[in-house]
Amino acid sequence: MNAPTPNIGDSQPAKRPQIKQLDEVAVNRIAAGEVVERPASAVKELIENALDAGATRIELCVKDGGKTLIRVTDDGHGIPAQDLPLALSRHATSKIDGTDLLNIHTFGFRGEALPSMAAVGRMTITSRIAGQDAAQIVVDGGAMGAVTPAALTKGTVVELRNLFYATPARLKFLRTDRAEMGAIADVVKKLAMAEPYVGFTIRDLSRDDKGRVTFRADAQSGDMFDALSGRLRSILGAEFADNALAIDAERDGVTLTGYAALPTYSRGNSISQFLFVNGRPVRDKLLVGALRGAYSDFLSRDRHPVVALFLELEPTKVDVNVHPAKAEVRFRDPGTARGLIVSALKHALADAGHRASTTVASATLGAFQPERVERPVYQMDRPSQGALRASYHAQAPQFETPGFAETQAVYSRVDVVEPAAEAAPDHPLGAARGQVHENYIIAQTKDGMVIVDQHAAHERLVYEKLKKQMAENGIAAQALLIPEIVEMSDADAAVLLTHAEALSKLGLTLEPFGAGAIAVRETPAILGEVNAEAMVRDILDELDDLGDTQLVADKIEAVLSRVACHGSIRSGRWMRADEMNALLREMEATPHSGQCNHGRPTYVELKLADIERLFGRT
């Protein structure tokens, strides 16, 4: 039985939703979801406003991880009383006139931050400009009050209380007070790196109104590199400052400055990579990929370099308006920026020569420290100076006792080099004095000693020679008897073919093969038999992730590294004095010899003062 045909004319039309204009408060709360993700986002916007106002001192007071109170006080030029209501209006700003959104010289430019925060919290702005009285305005959940007189000496104070009280659902997504406080500190530290001539203070008011200072960075003086070095020392620590290389390079109007750590001073994650574009902290795939490319020859994939790098270029050459929080940028010429980073860092690392991180020596000295047993020390336990001198005299070796050379056979194997073999330890790595366990060379320097891992050191030397030979003679390619056809989308094929010329220099030849396919005609000979399709797809993934590819170069260098490993001095081989000294001299003359092919140190240097401290002689 057929179902009856419905009468279209009798059916009720569906109710059509009506287009309505949202009110100002709703618009600002929606914008707050993009701009103010958490208390740290509000702190970032407020401090950037203070920096745009020319502040030289900025104090941040926070309570309960920023959920209860965020107060930013600065000594900038301030806001006129008549402009306070306008400053809290959406898309009102003094930083651009709207005619050119690519020529931006300030942190802020959208005019969204203040009205967005005022829509989801209780905001009070107190400000004073030179020659006028201070004024104040209060906004409660988007409801703006009148401008009233206030007391303030200079600058601006922005106080934001009860963040997200007007949108309580957002509060459920916030983390603990400690986690939010940590995120706030990270934001302030990044901005402090970019502005070394500005003083920053964070005060936590969670326990009492006086609060406690959790971070302080005083304004630096001197030239740019001195100021930046001092600021990085206070934020990243003395170890980074002592093991960082100054970077100063320029190409096609793009300038790169900052500091990059030695490969032996690396981390297990990328959290210590600080990148800035025109003073703005960013997380950009292109820049991160450039870092990895610059250090690819010195670090394994599970290690990450520590850097603080600042790119400066014409604002019209970079678009900062591609992310709600302005955390990403887009370069007009990404190749120039990437190439500058890679070349500048590689030159700096090469100029560092055989230098290795000082933290290696610190870790070695720490391993030498005897285990301490805590117990009370009484006065009678402290020997007098006379007793100490008598004890040292009694322990001094006598000439008639057997020498070290006569007793070494009784203990583990130690091969001793007579001082006459090379008397003047004026070289940076000193003169060889012995070999222990047929693997470690002991050398004496002017003011200490050096312990060298002979296999790791020679492996790096052989590796550098092989790389030099390949650079001079080129990378040989082997033609495939039958080209391998790899099917893919038209878009993926186009991406690969744009990099075909660069890949060809590495011995990988790609050609178009109709719609949605490419032909692999040659592969690098040094790699032997390879899965061409898997390699091409891995390259495509890397291009999609980082905007560039190091895959083929990394594979070639991995083969060279294996060849160098097999062709270097093996552990367990006894070396003559002239061989050991020749190895030391070659290390001094070879760039990057301070670390092996995986970023581990090839030698440890111990200063005499540190050694004496171990034995209580200081």
Structure confidence at residue 109 (pLDDT): 55
The CATH number given to whatever domain includes residue 146 is 3.30.565.10
In total, how many domains does the chain have? 3
* Tokens 């055989």 -> residue: 354
Same domain as 239, residue 139? no
Same domain as 337, residue 273? yes
> For 536, what's the count of Cα atoms within 13 Å in the CB-facing half-sphere?
27
Same domain as 244, residue 183? no
Structure confidence at residue 547 (pLDDT): 66
Question: Alpha-carbon distance 523 to 283, whole Å?
Answer: 34
Q: How does pLDDT run across 370-408, given as a tens digit for each residue?
A: 555 454 544 445 555 555 455 545 544 554 444 444 434
Same domain as 230, residue 211? no
User: Which DSSP symbol is given to 18?
Assistant: P
Of 183, 217, 251, the last residue of a domain is: 217
Same domain as 438, residue 579? yes
Distances, alpha carbon 590 to alpha carbons 198, 355, 585, 586, 598, in Å? 41, 10, 9, 6, 17
Question: Alpha-carbon distance 291 to 257, whole Å?
Answer: 14
265 within a domain of the structure (yes/no)? yes
Q: Pairing mode, if any, of strands 304-305 and 266-267?
A: antiparallel
Cα torsion for 445, 446, 449, 451, to the nearest 10°? -20
Question: Alpha-carbon distance 121 to 535, whole Å?
Answer: 53
Neighbours of 333 (CB within 10 A): 14
- Residues whose CB is less than 8 angstroms from the CB of residue 102 and which lie 6 or more positions away in sequence, other chains included: 315, 316, 319
378 within a domain of the structure (yes/no)? no
Question: Alpha-carbon distance 318 to 286, whole Å?
Answer: 13
**Residues of the domain holding 47:** 24-217
Residues of the chain with pLDDT under 70: 1-14, 21-35, 91-111, 321-326, 353-425, 545-548, 550-551, 559, 562-563, 566-567, 618
11 within a domain of the structure (yes/no)? no
Structure confidence at residue 543 (pLDDT): 77
Question: Alpha-carbon distance 163 to 66, whole Å?
Answer: 8
Q: What is the pTM of this model?
A: 0.71
Question: Alpha-carbon distance 449 to 432, whole Å?
Answer: 10
User: Which DSSP symbol is given to 427?
Assistant: S
Distances, alpha carbon 337 to alpha carbons 220, 253, 306, 309, 330, in Å? 28, 10, 19, 12, 11
3-state secondary structure of 325: coil
Same domain as 213, residue 238? no
Q: Output helix, strand, coil percentages for the chain, rounded to the nearest 5.
A: 40, 20, 40
Question: Alpha-carbon distance 453 to 438, whole Å?
Answer: 10
Q: How does pLDDT run across 246-272, given as a tens digit for each residue?
A: 999 999 899 999 999 988 888 888 889
Beta-bridge partner residues of 248: 257
Question: Alpha-carbon distance 266 to 362, whole Å?
Answer: 15
* Token couple for 407: 């007793």
Question: Alpha-carbon distance 369 to 300, whole Å?
Answer: 30
Same domain as 246, residue 113? no
Structure confidence at residue 471 (pLDDT): 78
* Tokens 């490319």 -> residue: 293
Of 191, 217, 243, the last residue of a domain is: 217
User: Which DSSP symbol is given to 23?
Assistant: P
3-state secondary structure of 281: strand
The CATH number given to whatever domain includes residue 531 is 3.30.1540.20
455 within a domain of the structure (yes/no)? yes
Same domain as 291, residue 144? no
Same domain as 255, residue 193? no
Question: Alpha-carbon distance 456 to 462, whole Å?
Answer: 10
Of 164, 185, 217, the last residue of a domain is: 217
Structure confidence at residue 356 (pLDDT): 61
Structure confidence at residue 613 (pLDDT): 77
Same domain as 265, residue 205? no
Structure confidence at residue 476 (pLDDT): 82
- Residues whose CB is less than 8 angstroms from the CB of residue 608 and which lie 6 or more positions away in sequence, other chains included: 447, 448, 449
Structure confidence at residue 154 (pLDDT): 93
Question: Alpha-carbon distance 440 to 450, whole Å?
Answer: 10
Closest to 303 in 3D by CA, of 546, 598, 594: 598
The CATH number given to whatever domain includes residue 280 is 3.30.230.10
Q: Pairing mode, if any, of strands 307-312 and 273-277?
A: parallel
360 within a domain of the structure (yes/no)? no
Same domain as 587, residue 469? yes
Closest to 429 in 3D by CA, of 405, 403, 461: 461
Same domain as 338, residue 474? no
516 within a domain of the structure (yes/no)? yes
* Alpha-helix runs per DSSP H in 369-411: 385-395, 404-407
98 within a domain of the structure (yes/no)? yes
3-state secondary structure of 319: strand
Structure confidence at residue 379 (pLDDT): 47
18 within a domain of the structure (yes/no)? no
